[in-house]
Amino acid sequence: MSPLSLLLHALAGVALFLHLPGSDAVLCYEDSVEEVGTCAEHAYLGEGVTDIECCWNIKYSYKTDAASPCQACRPAQWSEWSRWSPCTVSCTEGVEIRRRTCIGQGDCPGLSVEVQSCVLQECCPGDGGWSEWSQWSPCSVTCEKGQTKRTRECNNPVPTCNGSCQGPRKEEIQCDTHQICPIHGSWSEWGQWGQCSGACITEGSGIFPTQTRHRICNNPPPSSSPPGEPCKEDRQQNQDCKTLPFCPVNGQWSGWKKVSECSVTCGLGRVKEERVCDNPAPKHRGKACAGSPTRSIICNTEVPCPIDGQWSEWPEWSKCERLRDEIRCKTRSGLQFRSRKCQGESFGGKWCEGSKQESRSCYNVEKCLIKTSQWSDWSPWSKCSAVCGKSEKSRERVCQPIYTGYEEVLITDTKVSEVFFSGTPKVKCDPINGETNKVGETTECQNVPAC
């Protein structure tokens, strides 16, 4: 039996819910990632509890084992729609797709995928043509070899619809001044640091051993003709040896201590514990304690959480009637009623807010012949029929009655109320393609991805 069935059964009595046998141990979570339908790992409570106990709070979720899918405790409900996917093409008409996930106990009515047409750009880019090359620029250097370049413009013709020209806009080639450049001296890389003048540091003395490294002006050496500049700055560096070690002391943990009460007053929660790395503390580059200084362990209040009631969907309106009077196909108004139920309230949850019953004024036109009618405007295009391969969309016009001789607003001594027409009348419009009640058309969605 699922957690949802058990929760509904609890309406007959909490005692029966708490003692119903046959549930297996599960992995319990405080939260789930509804966009992808997985349990939130950071919200893991623990194991060793039943699905019934985990679902004492219907906001929780569980797995039967580590490899199983995540199951939400609450009744089945659609997640929010995802963002529309990028259009399948960058120009002309394509399609975009969005999805949603059914999360919870049971099935969700409706579709999990929707597809609709999209147009990012009405036209596709067209290539342009290059102008003639410009003159070569002067050489970039005054001695030895450098670079010269030339350019051209994409305007012969100008590209259309954000198009471009194929090939480079700029060309560069080598140029030779036939002049020798002077070579300035540059240092080689620093050599390795030499050995420290001592083997260790005396703690608290403030005096450190030293080490030295050198470099040479040969990368390259300065030229003599024409004369180059010699290397600047120092050829030697000294530094203190501050990294020599003291004797290490590795840290050890003290015992765990409870630092909080159970995080909830119903269902399952967490208790936080802490420990300190001071038994002893690490010193002189000794290793720190391995592991975390805090942890959370599961706590069980053994109390189900309150579940607020939710209204059922409104049913269809009742038959349009008037007490002791036949009003069908007449211009005398009647009344219609509908009522809904508050469902699921248990364990001290709130009762549903709002009205349980509604009524409205109406005319009964069921199977009545309405002589005057007209075609509606075209409806909006429907969503595309498939997410891949061949996909279609459609729209329609319907023959609508024109009611004459009826009062569409009733005025009494106490209020003004809108009147509704109840039932399906008999109508007939001038034929369109031989049809007098409804006409439709279908077209193919463009640039749908292949399956």
Which residues, at least 6 apart from 296, have a Cβ–Cβ distance to it below 8 Å? 270, 271, 272, 273
Structural element, H or E, at residue 9: helix 3-9
Each residue's pLDDT tens digit, 246-268: 767 789 999 989 889 998 989 99
DSSP type of residue 5: H
Each residue's pLDDT tens digit, 159-203: 888 888 898 999 999 988 888 888 888 888 888 988 888 777 776
Residue 400 corresponds to which tokens in the numbers above? 């609508």
Each residue's pLDDT tens digit, 322-337: 988 899 999 888 999 9
* The pLDDT value given to residue 247: 65
Q: What percent of the chain has pLDDT over 70?
A: 92
Q: Are strands 416-422 and 357-364 parallel, antiparallel or unpaired?
A: parallel
* The pLDDT value given to residue 1: 37
Long-range contacts of 269-273 (CB under 8 A, 24+ apart): 269/45, 269/298, 269/299, 269/301, 270/45, 270/296, 270/297, 270/298, 270/299, 271/296, 271/297, 271/298, 271/299, 272/296, 273/297
Please state the rounded mean pLDDT for residues 310-333: 91
Closest to 72 (Cα-Cα) out of 109, 47, 40:
40
Which residues, at least 6 apart from 353, have a Cβ–Cβ distance to it below 8 Å? none
Taking CA atoms, 428 is separated from 5, 326, 434, in Å, by 50, 25, 12
At 208, the pLDDT band (50, 70, 90 cuts) reads: confident
At 313, the pLDDT band (50, 70, 90 cuts) reads: very high
Task: Quickly tell me which residue has 């899918």 as its tokens.
Answer: 69
- The average confidence (pLDDT) of the chain is 85
Each residue's pLDDT tens digit, 414-447: 667 788 999 999 998 999 998 989 999 999 999 8
Is it the case that residue 316 has pLDDT exceeding 50? yes
CA distance 260 to 312: 41
* The pLDDT value given to residue 312: 92
CA distance 281 to 291: 14
Taking CA atoms, 213 is separated from 186, 189, 196, 355, in Å, by 17, 10, 11, 89
Please state the rounded mean pLDDT for residues 374-383: 93
Task: Quickly tell me which residue has 């909490």 as its tokens.
Answer: 14
CA distance 399 to 441: 15
* The pLDDT value given to residue 16: 29
* The pLDDT value given to residue 414: 64
* The pLDDT value given to residue 15: 29
User: Which range among 19-33, 104-118, 393-407 shows the weakest confidence by mean pLDDT?
Assistant: 19-33
Is it the case that residue 29 has pLDDT exceeding 80? yes
DSSP type of residue 366: T
Is it the case that residue 370 has pLDDT exceeding 50? yes
Is it the case that residue 142 has pLDDT exceeding 70? yes
* The pLDDT value given to residue 413: 58
CB-CB contact of 95 with 87 (8 Å): yes
Higher pLDDT, 283 or 391: 391
CA distance 274 to 257: 5
Higher pLDDT, 290 or 285: 290
CA distance 394 to 443: 6
CB-CB contact of 96 with 88 (8 Å): yes
Please state the rounded mean pLDDT for residues 309-318: 93
- The pTM (predicted TM-score) of the whole model is 0.51
CA distance 63 to 65: 5
Long-range contacts of 273-279 (CB under 8 A, 24+ apart): 273/297, 277/251, 277/252, 277/253, 278/251, 278/254, 279/251, 279/252, 279/253, 279/254
CA distance 170 to 149: 7
Which residues, at least 6 apart from 199, have a Cβ–Cβ distance to it below 8 Å? 209, 244
* The pLDDT value given to residue 123: 87
* The pLDDT value given to residue 10: 38
* The pLDDT value given to residue 176: 85
* The pLDDT value given to residue 248: 74
Closest to 37 (Cα-Cα) out of 4, 69, 65, 66:
69
Is it the case that residue 338 has pLDDT exceeding 50? yes
CA distance 309 to 9: 14
Q: Are strands 373-375 and 342-343 parallel, antiparallel or unpaired?
A: unpaired
